[in-house]
């Protein structure tokens, strides 16, 4: 029997007559599908055993609404390539705010809607050499604003009967566009921390952690998600992270992604329960759920893309029999399912499974780490060799921009890769490997290193955050042509 992690009530399935008799069931904790990563930022992971409908609505109003607004500038620009949300209007056009930074280093505050960049305050330029006025505003505003412009020009002694007027309702080509992220959001830090803590709490409860074991994010007595000093930013420190993060936009398949890793950190005498959160492959934080966790060690991973996934177009009947195993694998049918069937039955079975097949947004983080570790190690070795003539332009740029590292760093990445292969144990973003004077690999806590670095030099986290945001912005620009 599952309990709502916020109110603590035992939850029940929705009664058949609930819609007609809501008052009758007012005191019941009704189960509902709760998005662990918010639906509005294209999270796909849900669970019906963690939060009742009433408390879900409460947290949606108190936390999710503000948290989701933070990412509107990203989701609005990418919505043409993002997966459909589980619910809500995917085609709603939001108005965003930002600046156009002109070449003369001045900036114009603008709003952006449906691809057009319009000044919030209308403005104009008089081009005397062409006897023309350029008015910068929306077509709707221009009807009234041009009268003001004419009055001002007349007051300056300009004969308006001889000038032409051009309305420019999109000034995107006049400078560099920057869309607001944190600017203009009151209490930004508290809103993003509450949203992260809600994600971490939901993921922990969905994976069997009792609500009483989450003191850093959950106030049981007051039935609230809280934040303390429990949110720690990430900065690439290990050999692998330093190598991949600058190029993640081109080396991570299905970029951008969301990642959750729930794990126990045993670096000190007080074991910590931690959730690493990585949203849009950009916003990366550790959420400490419990500073002195007494439960058993845990490691749970969720990794998904937010990009639209298309169902493969297959004509099974026209596929030669020797290629049917490839078809089967692509739609998740195992060899055992086909064993003992006649050729005709195999075709029929695969057609049925294909019609039932739905695309999955969940990815395999272990496979990603294995793939990227191999690529990163190879890039380091190629850079040391100096031989890049066999590479394509993009591959050569990545190798040339790869930071200089010692052989020990390459060995550390191979050691991590071997652990995944032999033990199925993932240390990604949890521990990093360094070699001692005896050349023995030793694991250190990434979380503790982040705390140490943040206390010593918080500015490097700000610089890294700006770089990651720029990286995502460049991805958005690269995908504008897909609209």
Q: Does the pLDDT at position 438 exceed 60?
A: no
Distance, CA of 113 to CA of 121 (rounded, Å):
15
Read off the pLDDT band of 218 (50, 70, 90).
Answer: very high
Q: Which two tokens stand for residue 340?
A: 């003992």
Q: Which two tokens stand for residue 449?
A: 């290193």
What confidence score (pLDDT) does residue 115 get?
75
Distance, CA of 415 to CA of 438 (rounded, Å):
16
Altogether, the residues listed in the chain come to a count of 483
Calculate the CA dihedral of residues 130, 133, 139, 145 and round it to 10 degrees.
-170
Q: What is the pTM assigned to this prediction? A: 0.84
What confidence score (pLDDT) does residue 169 get?
87
Read off the pLDDT band of 107 (50, 70, 90).
Answer: confident
Contacts of 153 (CB under 8 A, 6+ apart): 126, 133, 160, 163
Q: Does the pLDDT at position 285 exceed 90?
A: yes
What confidence score (pLDDT) does residue 21 get?
79
Exposure on the CB side of residue 324, measured as CA atoms within 13 A: 23
Q: Does the pLDDT at position 246 exceed 80?
A: yes
**DSSP state at residue 312:** P
SS (H, E, C) 412-455: HHHHHHHHHHHHCCCCCCCEEEEECCCCCEEEEEHHHHHHHHHH
**Closest listed residue to residue 229, CA positions, set 468, 450, 478:** 450
The residue among 424 and 27 whose pLDDT is bigger is 27
Taking residues 292-301, report their average pLDDT: 95
Taken in order 245, 246, 252, 254, is the CA torsion positive or negative?
positive
Q: Does the pLDDT at position 62 exceed 90?
A: yes
The residue among 80 and 94 whose pLDDT is bigger is 80
**DSSP state at residue 40:** G
- Cross-strand partners of 288: 274
Report the 10 Å Cβ neighbour count for 287. 26
Read off the pLDDT band of 415 (50, 70, 90).
Answer: low
Whether the Cβ atoms of residue 422 and residue 379 lie closer than 8 Å to each other: no
Q: Does the pLDDT at position 193 exceed 90?
A: yes
Distance, CA of 299 to CA of 275 (rounded, Å):
10
Distance, CA of 443 to CA of 376 (rounded, Å):
20
| C-alpha 462 chain-centroid distance | 18
Q: Which of 247-251, 349-353, 406-410 has the highest mean pLDDT?
A: 349-353
Q: Phi then psi for 236, rounded to 5 degrees?
A: -65, 125
Exposed, middle or buried, 365 (CB in 10 Å: 0-12/13-18/19+)? buried
């Amino acid at each position: 029997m599952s309990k709502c992690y916020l109110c603590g009530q035992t939850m029940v399935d929705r009664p058949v007559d609930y819609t007609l008799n809501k008052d009758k069931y007012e005191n019941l904790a009704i189960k509902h599908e709760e998005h662990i990563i918010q639906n509005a930022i294209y999270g796909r992971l849900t669970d019906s055993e963690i939060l009742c409908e009433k408390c879900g609505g409460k947290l949606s109003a108190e936390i999710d609404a503000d948290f989701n607004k933070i990412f509107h500038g990203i989701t609005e620009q990418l919505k043409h390539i993002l997966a459909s949300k589980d619910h809500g209007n995917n085609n709603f056009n939001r108005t965003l705010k930002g600046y156009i930074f002109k070449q003369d280093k001045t900036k114009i505050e603008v709003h952006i809607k449906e691809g057009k960049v319009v000044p919030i305050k209308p403005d104009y330029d008089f081009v005397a050499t062409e006897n023309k006025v350029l008015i910068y505003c929306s077509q709707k505003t221009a009807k009234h604003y041009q009268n003001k412009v004419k009055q001002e020009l007349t007051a300056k002694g300009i004969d308006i009967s001889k000038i032409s007027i051009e309305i420019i309702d999109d000034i995107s080509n006049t400078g560099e566009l920057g869309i607001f992220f944190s600017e203009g959001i009151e209490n930004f830090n508290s809103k993003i921390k509450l949203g992260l803590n809600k994600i971490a709490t939901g993921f922990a409860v969905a994976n069997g952690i009792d609500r009483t074991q989450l003191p850093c994010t959950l106030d049981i007595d007051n039935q609230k998600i809280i934040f303390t000093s429990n949110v720690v930013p990430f900065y690439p420190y290990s050999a692998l992270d330093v190598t991949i993060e600058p190029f993640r936009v081109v080396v991570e398949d299905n970029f951008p992604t969301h990642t959750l890793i729930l794990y126990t950190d045993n670096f000190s005498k007080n074991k910590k329960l931690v959730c690493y959160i990585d949203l849009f492959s950009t916003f990366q934080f550790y959420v400490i759920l419990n500073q002195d966790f007494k439960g058993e060690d845990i490691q749970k991973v969720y990794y998904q893309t937010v990009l639209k996934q298309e169902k493969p177009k297959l004509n099974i009947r026209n596929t030669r029999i020797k290629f049917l195993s490839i078809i089967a694998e692509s739609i998740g049918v195992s060899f055992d399912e086909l064993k003992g069937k006649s050729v005709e039955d195999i075709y029929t079975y695969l057609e049925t499974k294909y019609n039932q097949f739905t695309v999955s947004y969940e990815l395999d983080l272990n496979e990603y780490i294995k793939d990227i570790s191999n690529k990163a190690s190879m890039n380091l070795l190629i850079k040391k060799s100096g031989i890049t003539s066999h590479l394509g332009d993009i591959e050569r740029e990545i190798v040339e921009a790869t930071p200089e590292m010692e052989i020990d760093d390459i060995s550390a990445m191979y050691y991590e890769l071997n652990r995944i292969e032999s033990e199925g144990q993932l240390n990604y973003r949890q521990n990093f490997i360094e070699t001692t004077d005896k050349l023995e690999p030793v694991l250190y806590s990434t979380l503790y290193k982040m705390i140490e670095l943040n206390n010593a030099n918080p500015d490097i986290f700000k610089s890294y955050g700006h770089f990651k945001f720029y990286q995502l912005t460049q991805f958005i620009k690269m995908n504008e042509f897909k609209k």
